[in-house]
Amino acid sequence: MKQEHTSPVLTDSPPLAKSRLGIPSPLLLCSPPAPSYTSRSLSGRLLTSPQKKSMLSTLEDVRENGWLDAMKASSPPRKGAVRDGNSIFAMHENAEAAYNSWKLKYPSALSSFEQLVTFAKGKSFVLFLDYDGTLSPIVDDPDAAFMSDAMRATVRELVKLFPTAIISGRSRHKVNEFVALSELYYAGSHGMDIMGPVRSSEPSNYSESCVRSTDKEGKEVSLFQPAREFIPMIEEVFKSLVECTKEINGVKVENNKFCVSVHYRCVDEDSWDIIANHVFNILEGYPKLRVCHGRKVLEIRPIIKWDKGKAVEFLLESLGLNDGLDVFPIYIGDDRTDEDAFKALREKGQGCGILVSAYPRPSSAFYSLKDPSEVMAFLQSLVKWKMSGEL
Ligand SMILES: O=P(O)(O)OC[C@H]1O[C@H](O[C@H]2O[C@H](CO)[C@@H](O)[C@H](O)[C@H]2O)[C@H](O)[C@@H](O)[C@@H]1O
């Protein structure tokens, strides 16, 4: 499905000629991305000035690179301007009016359900679902982000009818534990840890990072971990971050195996720059890691050319469903990292993204849903539609 608006998605810079970590092609290491809210100056400075900088200059870097702005922007904006690309998209005193106006561009997948199934006529749906903020509501404690029984029952029905995968920023193990359903595919660490079906031949390009394994039930599966070599580095960074943030009230550092999340949702806003400063400082010693901004969280991850969009492509290929003519993938997610998947579908001209958001935001998605309860209603509509045989 094509829609005419520019993508806000920030992509990686071109890959370096050689990977010192020996990452197999096409997963060559990339330079850190250059958007204002990432560690843009990190690698450049490392090349020219390896000595440790003072706390003051690091704080300036944090500000100069827009980290604090991005941290503040990772929650619903206050009344006023809502940016879309380079232009002001909406300016309303009334948040509801702004939301309704935004929905003209990103229609509700519920009220547009008939249109969506018409677009998909003759094709098979494949579902890709994000976890936090999509299947479970956002809560203060990341360890308590439970999925409701009703949502689990809905997903259980869904997976009987459509190939379904969960693609989360969490560790695969953790998201599997939360969802607790065995009939679907799981991708953790923003797609850097995928447990998928075994194929007679692994998807082309990816075979070097695929190994055969068994799941909890002893079934043979294929495990794809393109950033396996980063595990010790991530562990090291996790420990350092736990240590240096331990005095900050409310901070939580989560080890997601191939990435680390530094949560500041429960931290007083006055201390956010201290957190950003610690992360920035630590990452100076790890030029092969970068930072992304999620919902009140700094996500530290390897600089490899891999994201949720690549994970979608990989899973479609693994499932033997990458034929654009017969398949209609739907990706539902709420976070910035989900934009990579929305963008991938848009670029393929296949299927559509559905952004879960209760406030106006620029996106590469096609439709929107307000919150996890609307996600559940949408998934139930899909189940009902398929059961009624309206194909
Ligand atoms: O890709 P996702 O499944 O959406 O995971 C993204 C991050 O989600 C979690 O953090 C977010 O949800 C928490 C629980 O509601 C909330 O407390 C936090 O503020 C949010 O950022 C998870 O804890 C992270 O590890 C994921 O990367």
Return mean pLDDT, the chain: 82
pLDDT band at 347 (very low <50, low <70, confident <90, very high): very high
Residue 200: per-residue pLDDT? 64
If you average pLDDT over residues 361-368, what whole number do you get? 97
| Residue 275 CA neighbour count, 13 Å, CB half | 30
Q: Report whether pLDDT(100) > 70.
A: yes
* Contact (Cβ atoms closer than 8 angstroms) between residue 228 and residue 213: no
The ipTM (two decimal places) reads: 0.99
Interatomic CA distance for residues 156 and 267, integer angstroms: 36
Please tell me what DSSP assigns to residue 157.
H
Interatomic CA distance for residues 172 and 55, integer angstroms: 36
Least confident among 80-84, 108-112, 267-271, 368-372:
80-84
Q: Which atom of ligand 1 is nearest to the CA of 132?
A: 4
Q: Evaluate: CB of 169 within 6 angstroms of ligand 1.
A: yes
Please tell me what DSSP assigns to residue 366.
S
Q: Report whether pLDDT(52) > 50.
A: no
Q: Evaluate: CB of 191 within 6 angstroms of ligand 1.
A: no
pLDDT band at 76 (very low <50, low <70, confident <90, very high): low
Q: What is the pLDDT of residues 157-175, one digit of tens each?
A: 999 999 999 999 999 999 9
pLDDT band at 33 (very low <50, low <70, confident <90, very high): very low
Rg (CA), the chain: 21
Highest-confidence segment of 22-31, 51-60, 328-337: 328-337
Which of 222, 151, 143 lies closest to 180 in space, CA to CA? 151
Q: Among residues of the chain, what percentage have pLDDT more than 70? A: 78
Least confident among 67-81, 251-265, 268-282:
67-81
Which of 356, 348, 361 lies closest to 372 in space, CA to CA? 356
Give whole-number Cα distances, 265 to 75, 251, 319, 328, in Å.
9, 8, 37, 36
Catalytic residue among 130, 334, 335, 338: 130
**Is 130 a residue of the active site?**
yes
If you average pLDDT over residues 184-199, what whole number do you get? 92
Residue entry with tokens 């530290």 = 300
Q: How far is CA 148 from the centre of its chain?
A: 21
CATH for the stretch 106-193+307-387 = 3.40.50.1000
Pocket test for ligand 1, best of 297, 334, 337, 375 (most atoms within 8 A of CB): 297
Query: What separation in Å is there between the alpha carbon of 166 and the centre of ligand 1?
Result: 14
Q: Report whether pLDDT(215) > 50.
A: yes
pLDDT band at 15 (very low <50, low <70, confident <90, very high): very low
For atom 23 of ligand 1, the residue with the nearest CA is 142
Q: Report whether pLDDT(202) > 70.
A: no
Strand ordering across the sheet containing 289-294: 252-255, 260-263, 297-302, 289-294
Q: Evaluate: CB of 263 within 6 angstroms of ligand 1.
A: yes
Q: Report whether pLDDT(192) > 70.
A: yes
Query: What separation in Å is there between the alpha carbon of 366 and the centre of ligand 1?
Result: 23
